[in-house]
Amino acid sequence: MKMIVGLGNPGDEYCNTRHNVGFMAIDRYLSENVNYKIKFNGEYFVDSNNDVIFLKPLSFMNLSGEVIKKFKSYYKIDIADILIIYDDMAFELGNVKIKPDGSAGGHNGFKNIIDNLNNSNIKRVRVGIGKPNYDMKDYVLGKFSPDEKVILDEVLNKVVNIIGDYLRIDFDKLMNKYN
């Protein structure tokens, strides 16, 4: 079984913010017609073949690892079968980077995942949101401008393709195709 996790913050006030691109990617891939279930403080959906869990932790970004650890343990998912999708200020909006492992790179949500899973060999899709020229917290919790929404729409379509390919092809081939 594989688990694809989109990071974000729960609640209407965080909907469509830069920090929620992981949630947006999962929602876009599954479409708006999916009925999520709730377990272990996470919104999740299991595909019809029962071989992929799509998860949106509802514990707020910086505590995402606790929810992911519970799902990993309950469903006996190998660390090699987890893919995390999240925002990254190291890249401009429109850029996506796929990596098989590494540090959290200053992302507190991902740091919490590494700490909870006691492993940094976690596959990831880093979605660029650009760097702020003002307070970082206000920036990541801010909404996209109309011009940014056009770029975001293209990026989310790309991430949907990445998710689909992740489920079908080898990870090295996935990186070669999209990086």
CA dihedral of 81, 101, 72, 9, whole degrees rounded to 10: -120
Tokens representing residue 72 in the block: 């990993």
107 is catalytic: no
- From the CA atom positions of the chain, what is the Rg in Å? 15
Asked if 6 contacts 23 with a C-beta cutoff of 8 angstroms, the reply is yes
Q: Which of 25, 53, 35 is CA-nearest to residue 125? A: 25
| Main-chain phi, psi angles of 45, to 5 degrees | -140, 135
Length of the chain: 179
* Given the residues 19, 123, 124, 126, the one annotated as active site: 19
Asked if 95 contacts 128 with a C-beta cutoff of 8 angstroms, the reply is yes
In 3-state terms, what secondary structure has residue 167?
coil
Asked if 102 contacts 178 with a C-beta cutoff of 8 angstroms, the reply is no
Active site residues: 19
